[in-house]
A and B are shown apart, each in its own frame.
Chain A
Amino acid sequence: MAVKELSDGIFEVQKSGKRFIGTKNAVPGSAVYGERLVEAEGDEYRIWDARRSKLAAMVLKKMNIPIKSDSNVLYLGAASGTTVSHVSDILTDGLVYAVEFSPRTMRELIQLCDTRLNIIPILADANHPASYAHIVEQVDVVFQDVAQPNQAQIAAVNCEQFLKGDGHLLLSIKARSIDTVANPGKVFKEEVKKLEKEFDTKFQILKKQDLAPFHDDHLGLIAQKLLR
């Protein structure tokens, strides 16, 4: 059984001929959403399913994940916290601010926060960063998975408010929630163009990648905020 660290806190685990990606479990012995736990080289890893998590799909698509073990991350669209739990594993020395709009899914997220020490739950609308600016500090990474028609704008206003000068934006763009009928390729192009031109905050796109076959009609994108 071999373990290889792909980037900070993200591991590739080989077991009985199969390869998985996973994160080192911060709460050994307990699974968060029914994922498999694997012992390797004396540590316990939580297997990370790329079909359930866009961030995991980005890892498998060989995108360079800029999250370091001591980063502070603003996570928009935390939902019930499946991906957030892995981010929390990665950040052995950092915080993740998890913003979620729906009280129903927040219920599960809060239960997750109770077991982990580095998640700050925030029940708020990501469209209005001012409504949580009194809680969130300046962060190194903004991760966004909100599936809203104005995705690009949400990313831009949040990066403007919270992202450090040379911080990174990780974005998952869902073509179907921007335009249900248009060709996804065209939607992606437009969204990327928006991100490059339309807002006060300027980005340099580092990498973009279709997340198929893990997620249909999704584009993963990594960008860096440009210093003004």
Chain B
Amino acid sequence: MKIITWYGILTLEENGVADCELFNKDVDELAEGLLHQNAAGARAPEAGFDIRAPAISFGFVENDREYDSLLRDVSIRAGKLRISRTNTPDMRIIQAVEALDDIDDAANALSERLSEWYGLHFPELGFSSEQLARFVKEHGARSNIPADDPIFEKASSSMGAELPPADEELVKQFASNICDLYDNRHSIEESIVRNMGEIAPNLSNIAGPLIGARLISMTGGLERLAQLPSSTVQVMGASRALFKHLRSRAPSPKHGLIFNHPLIKNSPWWQRGKIARALAAKISLACRTDVYSGELSPAIKTGLEKKVNSIKSSNPKPPAREKPSGKGRGKGNKNSGGRR
């Protein structure tokens, strides 16, 4: 029987190790070997087999000390190789998606602050978020608004307090930072769309690049997403509702993250569950095509459209309401939220 170790292939016979085919004593080669240990015909050492002794008796290393230090060097090298190989394009997409969410959180918080701050000076403006930030960045105090601007009327009769020049400078700078965040957000979004088209053309085609990217980010990689059952894809992002359903009698969630897909969002409520199921199935299919073939296959999209049309035509009307049974089955606690 042949067994493999990090330093060579051992031939085992009844009375012990009969022979050892040593590998080259080169750290890079050995590290590469560690990653592909499934050499032909050789098996992993059996339980209880000590791999250190043969390394010394067959002269791969001179003593325990050398064994330790060489194994350390090789393992560290192998670990570094593995880590550098896990940095695939989908990992970059995941980071971009997370950055998008972080920017949203930050920009919202800052925009609210700006709205309060600038509201002291010009409460009648009525702008919020990006629009407000752009406005403040451009004009500063309301006295700078030109007379031909539609807002001029509001600005000149505002009940807001005066804005001292020093404060104006601060608010303008603050607003300009928020604008930068929004600009950054747009360019990240563009880059996600571009990258998704490259690494997952089918997924982008079916789910849309942004929803696709979110699905990847949630599962931790395109390949992992491709390995998930489509029923999981369907409810991903609705975990609260899902676990509530599993724990109690609450209804199962019909859609999670994919709710944001126009096919579901723009459909009447009684078709949504069915469409979500069809969409999730095609998303899984698309992912698998992306991972294992990588070529765009338009048949998935036409298949989905056909399926959705048949769902729509066979369910044109909302189903008749069931008579209330008195037991209060189904709907969970209305206040708990999180249902999608």
Q: Mark B32-52, 1 if CB is under 8 A from A, else 0.
A: 001001000000110111111
Do residues A161 and B47 form an inter-chain contact, with CB atoms below 8 A?
yes
Given A134-B44, A134-B45, A135-B6: A117 touches B72 (CB 8 Å cut-off): yes
- How many whole Å from A88's CB to the nearest CB in chain B? 11
Question: Is A74 interfacial (CB 8 A cutoff)?
Answer: no
Contact across chains for B75 and A120 when beta carbons are under 8 A apart:
yes
| Binary contact track A105-116/B, C-beta < 8 Å → 1, others 0 | 011011001100
Cβ-defined contact, A133 with B82, below 8 A? no
Contacts A103-B82, A121-B79; A130 near B68 (Cβ below 8 A): no
Asked whether B83 lies within 8 Å of A120 as measured between CB atoms, the reply is no
Taking CB atoms, residues of chain B closer than 8 Å to A113 are 72, 75-76, 79
Cα distance A110–B83 in the bound complex, in angstroms: 10
- Smallest CB–CB gap between B248 and chain A, Å? 12
A127–B248 CA distance with the chains assembled, in angstroms: 32
In the complex, whether B266 has a CB less than 8 A from a CB of chain A is: no
B60 to chain A, nearest CB (A): 13
| A103-B83 contact, Cβ under 8 Å, with A113-B72, A121-B75, A138-B50 | yes
- Assembly CA distance A117 to B4 (angstroms): 25
- Verify A137–B50 contact, CB threshold 8 A: yes
User: Is the pair B83, A133 in contact by a Cβ cutoff of 8 Å?
Assistant: no
Query: In the complex, which residues of chain B have a beta carbon less than 8 angstroms from the beta carbon of A21?
Result: none
Q: A123 interface residue, CB < 8 Å from B?
A: yes
A122 at the interface (CB under 8 A from B): yes
User: Is the pair A134, B75 in contact by a Cβ cutoff of 8 Å?
Assistant: no
Q: Which residue of A lies closest to B243 (CB)?
A: A180
Query: Do A106 and B6 touch (CB < 8 A)?
Result: no
Q: How far is the CB of A182 from chain B (nearest CB, A)?
A: 13
Judge whether B325 is part of the interface by a CB distance below 8 angstroms.
no
- The answer to whether B50 and A134 have CB atoms under 8 Å apart is no
Q: How far is the CA of A42 from the CA of B131 in the complex (A)?
A: 65
Question: For residues 47 through 69 of chain B, which have their beta carbon under 8 Å from a beta carbon of chain A?
Answer: 47-52, 68-69
Considering the complex, give the chain B residue whose CB is closest to the CB of A136.
B51
The answer to the question of B86 belonging to the interface, with a C-beta cut-off of 8 Å to chain A, is yes
Bound together, the chains give a CA A109 to CA B78 distance in angstroms of: 13
A130 and B6: CB pair below 8 A? no
Question: Cα distance A123–B83 when bound, in Å?
Answer: 9
Q: Are B45 and A133 in contact (CB under 8 A)?
A: yes
Chain B hits for A134, CB < 8 A: 3-6, 34, 37, 44-45, 51
Residue of A107, A117, A122, A133 with highest tally of chain B CB at under 10 A: A133
Query: B194 at the A/B interface (Cβ < 8 Å)?
Result: no
Judge whether B306 is part of the interface by a CB distance below 8 angstroms.
no
Cβ-closest chain A residue relative to B87: A103
Set A123, A133, A137, A161: member contacting B79, Cβ < 8 A:
A123
Query: A135–B75 contact, CB under 8 A?
Result: yes
Report the bound CA distance from A120 to B80 in whole Å.
12
| Contact string against B for A residues 131-155, beta-carbon threshold 8 Å, 1 for contact and 0 otherwise | 1011111100000000000000000
User: Are A110 and B79 in touch, CB under 8 angstroms?
Assistant: yes
Q: Which of B239-261 contact A (CB under 8 A)?
A: none
Which chain A residue shows the least CB distance to B76? A113
Chain B residues, CB < 8 A from A109: 79
* Bound Cα distance A96, B191 (Å): 43
A119 at the interface (CB under 8 A from B): yes
Q: How far is the CA of A156 from the CA of B79 in the complex (A)?
A: 25
- The answer to whether A130 and B44 touch across the interface, beta carbons within 8 angstroms, is yes
Residues of B within 8 A of A (CB): 3-6, 34, 37, 44-45, 47-52, 68-69, 71-72, 75-76, 78-80, 82-83, 86
Q: Could you give 29 example pairs across A and B, Cβ below 8 Å? A: A95-B68, A103-B82, A103-B83, A106-B82, A106-B83, A110-B76, A110-B80, A113-B72, A113-B75, A114-B76, A119-B72, A120-B72, A120-B75, A121-B75, A121-B76, A122-B79, A123-B78, A123-B82, A123-B83, A134-B4, A134-B6, A134-B37, A134-B45, A134-B51, A135-B75, A136-B51, A137-B52, A138-B50, A138-B52
